[in-house]
Amino acid sequence: MKFEIDVAGYDMFVDRDFTICIAKDDGSIVKGFKFNKTLVDSLISDWKAGKFKYIYNIVESKRGRLKARIYCIIVYYLFKSIEKQDFFSLTLCRDFKGRENEICQSIKYLLIEQLGFKTGVPQFRKLLPTSYAHIYANMMRRDKKNFLNTYIDISLSDIEKYLFKKVTPRSRETES
């Protein structure tokens, strides 16, 4: 069994309709999430306020770490919304160049350790234009009225749960 993951849009912090989609290679399972301006503005605001373990920086190379982590968190919730699958392979479109290792680490933690899915090492490559993940990601991006029944609702608090700084006993002592 094989799942593919694709995005539609240029930049999740800029595009109002940036979309992440997962699809089984036969098209029998398709789930997606579309970002909205309110969600993105809240994420950036909390990031600037120093609430996340990622330090705010306007430089694109620094923003890439946070984007890759948010991407993985969305992928986690998309897989969480489907029935647990037996072993499957993952093919991810190369949308976050240079972040493959971070994505692999996050996928391993979120899908394997948190959800208990069994998956091989994710493969990064350009998806074919006939790929269901590619087709549906683009359709969802263009779906201005949200007519497709593939969307998953993910709240700001769901995303931020995996972005907040960890509070350790030592840091609590220094705050007192």
Summarised one tens digit per residue, pLDDT across range 113-165 is 999 999 988 999 999 999 999 999 999 999 888 788 899 999 999 999 999 86
pLDDT for the residue numbered 148: 85
Contacts of 7 (CB under 8 A, 6+ apart): 18, 19, 20, 21, 71, 93, 95, 137
CATH architecture of 2-175: 2-Layer Sandwich (3.30)
Q: Are strands 30-34 and 123-124 parallel, antiparallel or unpaired?
A: unpaired
Q: CA 44 to CA 57: how far, in whole Å?
A: 11
**Cβ-contact 19, 33 below 8 angstroms:** yes
Q: Would you place residue 174 in the very low, low, confident or very high pLDDT band (cuts 50, 70, 90)?
A: very low
Predicted pLDDT at 168: 52
Query: What pLDDT does residue 138 have?
Result: 93
**pLDDT per position as a tens digit, 10-36:** 889 888 889 999 999 999 999 999 999
Task: Report the distance separating Cα 75 and Cα 110, nearest Å.
Answer: 9
C-alpha 124/C-alpha 104 separation (Å) is: 10
DSSP string, 34-95: E--HHHHHHHHHHHHTT-BSSPP-SSHHHHHHHHHHHHHHHHHHHHHTSPPPSSBEEEE-S-
Residue 105 sits at φ, ψ, to 5 deg, of -60, -45
Q: Where along the chain do its domains lie?
A: 2-175
The predicted structure's pLDDT at residue 172: 47
Tell if the pTM clears 0.95, that is, is over it. no
Determine which helix (DSSP H) or strand (DSSP E) holds 101, and give its type and residue range.
Answer: helix 100-107
Looking at every residue in the chain, the average pLDDT score rounds to: 87
What is d(CA 2, CA 79) in angstroms, rounded to the nearest whole number? Answer: 13
Contacts of 124 (CB under 8 A, 6+ apart): 91, 92, 93, 94, 100, 103
